[in-house]
Amino acid sequence: MKNVAVFGSTGSIGRQTLSVCANNTDKFSVYTIVLGSNYKESIEQIKQFSPKNVGVYDREAAEKIKSVFPGLNVVSGDEVWDLAADSRVDTVVNGVSGFSGVFPLIKAINAGKTVALANKESVVCAGEIFKNALASGGGRILPVDSEQSAIFQALSAGRRSDVKRLILTASGGAFRDLPIEKLADVTPEMAMKHPTWNMGRKITIDSATLFNKGLEVMEAAFLFDSDAEHISVLIHPQSIVHSMVEYNDGSVIAQLSVPDMRLAIQYAMTYPERNASPVEPLDFAKIAGLSFREPDFDRWPALPMAYTALKTGGSQPVAYNSGNEIAVDRFVRGELKFTDIPGCVEYAMNKIEMIRISDMDTLLYIDSEARRLASEYIPKG
């Protein structure tokens, strides 16, 4: 029986992780849940899973949970991140959204935990800090993102030295076929309608801009010790081939399944075992076809910007991520057009101070600066 800590329990990944735990009660015990402020949903989760610890970042929400469960250990504020290092926890599922995922990741890795990682931003922003923590803390990462999980699985088919290329697939999001001249009229409500996946607001918008894929390119480089020249992206509207690995002999190994995050979550939590899953099996006879195409960089400028950030390093990946977090928020609030999001991020990347990031203080400083720059951006025209 593994004790599991679920960070971001009321988000999309967190809910699906708890679903996996509910279907495998003989294998997993939900020891800890951590959330931001959605105390109403967490109350139902506490009733169902009876965790020993609950972390609620919002202090007011934490007090409300304490009033319902007076004997429960509830922590709030920055103390919630310390729950990732709890000696009684075996696996930490990091489903926290955005930059904040850095904190439980580093805490868990330094404590030697296995981290089922769904938060790509944490690895992208804390690259060198993350690698140092892995080397000193003895923890390990098992990827939960469907693309990184697919790469992880496909890499088992051969030696790392024989890998020629990592190929990440992308659905293309809600506007992959919309005429480019109409993208400026896209509203947040339109951007929230993903054609394949059911995800949270931020990642759904990032899927439409392909900023999520840019982050995944950088994440793959860190997770699998690769570089920009050996990672490529293909648009795959059906979202059935989740990613591929090409080997030197010309063989391409792909991982296929229906688009359901519970598969990747369960595989990370049960690795190296493969257990029965409630997810619908893939029926090849019903698949009309699988199509792939190169991404159009004019439609999706976020991709070439990601490759630039990866090659340049230093402050650039942080500016890419944190600038995008602000840009998306400004788009949702009506301050920016959909087509202004890349320009806002590019502005932050061009203006950010270029320094090496090897400690948390420097990382927090660059994150703050990137957010400030993205907040002051004024679109042309």
203 vs 214, more confident:
214
Instruction: Please state, rounded to an integer, the average pLDDT across all residues of the chain.
Output: 94
Q: Say whether pLDDT at 120 is over 90.
A: yes
The pTM assigned to this predicted structure is 0.93
Q: How confident is the model at residue 336 (pLDDT cuts 50, 70, 90)?
A: very high
d(CA 218, CA 226) in angstroms, rounded, equals 9
Q: Say whether pLDDT at 201 is over 80.
A: no
Q: Over the stretch 19-55, which tens digit does the pLDDT of each residue have?
A: 999 999 999 999 999 999 998 999 999 999 999 999 9
The predicted structure's pLDDT at residue 108: 96
The predicted structure's pLDDT at residue 202: 81
d(CA 130, CA 126) in angstroms, rounded, equals 5
> Exposed/middle/buried for 381, CB within 10 Å: 0-12, 13-18, 19+?
exposed
Beta strands in the chain (DSSP E): 2-7, 28-35, 53-56, 73-76, 91-94, 114-117, 140-143, 163-170, 231-235, 241-247, 252-256
Cβ atoms of 34 and 7 within 8 Å: the answer is yes
Mean pLDDT score, 131-135: 92
Q: Over the stretch 257-268, which tens digit does the pLDDT of each residue have?
A: 999 999 999 999
Site of tokens 């919630």: 80
The predicted structure's pLDDT at residue 189: 87
Q: Say whether pLDDT at 150 is over 90.
A: yes
The predicted structure's pLDDT at residue 173: 87
Q: How confident is the model at residue 200 (pLDDT cuts 50, 70, 90)?
A: low
Q: Say whether pLDDT at 311 is over 80.
A: yes
The predicted structure's pLDDT at residue 305: 98
Q: Say whether pLDDT at 135 is over 80.
A: yes
Cβ atoms of 99 and 367 within 8 Å: the answer is yes
Token readout for 12 is 């999309």
The predicted structure's pLDDT at residue 295: 96
> Domains of the chain, with CATH numbers?
2-143 (3.40.50.720), 148-260+286-312 (no CATH)
Q: How confident is the model at residue 381 (pLDDT cuts 50, 70, 90)?
A: low
